[in-house]
């Protein structure tokens, strides 16, 4: 064990700790600062997720969509899914330039939207759906959110005039 000084995102640790203890302490401090809002710079680009006793950071740029299921949110990335405790409304308010609501229980990443189209599934999936890059199944778009979604899409991704 040696006396070490570590700096991580504005946090400094000076202590006689081994590497594992230092890393654990830094992570705990980081989560504490993020949860009370001190490290806004980190929270702008990452979601901090607690999973099986571990603290994971998931980059917002990796998130394809978020789906609310009771009091949990399933975070979908291209690689895997995560369970996040929080509300869609809070995430939508905190990251309005990154996510857009397509349904009362679904937010999608703006960068992942490839096309808005009429659903082939009829009323089962809803009359409108959105396709995301890297996601096989289309996601249903509610009538209330369709206009906002269509207006937020870039001209290359917007639905043709006959679909409006």
The torsion region of residue 70 among left (phi > 0), alpha (psi -120 to 50) and beta comes to left
pLDDT at residue 7 above 90? no
- When divided into structural domains, the chain yields a total of 2
Cα–Cα distance between 66 and 34 in angstroms, integer?
A: 20
56 shares its domain with 114:
yes
User: Can you tell me which residue has the tokens 């400094």?
Assistant: 12
14 shares its domain with 92:
no
pLDDT band at 104; cut points 50, 70, 90: very high
75 shares its domain with 148:
yes
Backbone angles phi, psi at 19, to 5 degrees: -60, -40
100 shares its domain with 68:
yes
State the average pLDDT for the chain. 75
Cα–Cα distance between 53 and 71 in angstroms, integer?
A: 19
48 shares its domain with 30:
no
Please state, as a whole number, how many other Cβ atoms lie within 10 Å of the Cβ of residue 125. 15
Q: What's the whole-number mean pLDDT along residues 2-11?
A: 46
Rounded to two decimals, the pTM is: 0.66
61 shares its domain with 6:
no
101 shares its domain with 139:
yes
91 shares its domain with 152:
yes
pLDDT at residue 18 above 70? no
Q: Which domain holds residue 27?
A: 1-36
Q: Summarize pLDDT for 24-59 with one digit per residue, the tens.
A: 666 666 555 444 443 566 667 888 888 888 888 899
Tokens of 64: 């394809």
pLDDT band at 151; cut points 50, 70, 90: confident
pLDDT band at 15; cut points 50, 70, 90: very low
61 shares its domain with 112:
yes
Full DSSP string of 89-144: HHHHHH-TTTEEEEETTEEEEGGGEEEEEE-TTTTTT-SEEEEETT-SS-EEE-HH
30 shares its domain with 11:
yes
């Amino acid at each position: 064990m040696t006396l070490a000084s570590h700096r991580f995102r504005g946090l400094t640790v000076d202590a006689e700790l081994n590497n594992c203890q230092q890393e654990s302490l830094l992570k705990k401090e980081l989560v504490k600062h993020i949860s009370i809002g001190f490290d806004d710079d980190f929270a702008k680009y990452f979601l901090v997720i607690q999973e099986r006793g571990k603290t994971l950071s998931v980059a917002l740029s990796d998130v394809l969509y978020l789906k609310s299921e009771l009091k949990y949110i399933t975070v979908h990335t291209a690689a895997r899914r995560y369970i996040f405790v929080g509300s869609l409304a809070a995430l939508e308010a905190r990251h309005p330039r990154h996510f857009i609501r397509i349904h009362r229980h679904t937010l999608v990443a703006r960068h992942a939207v490839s096309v808005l189209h009429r659903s082939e599934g009829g009323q089962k999936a809803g009359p409108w759906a959105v396709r995301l890059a890297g996601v096989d199944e289309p996601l249903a778009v509610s009538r209330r959110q369709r206009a906002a979604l269509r207006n937020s899409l870039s001209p290359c991704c917007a639905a043709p005039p006959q679909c409006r």
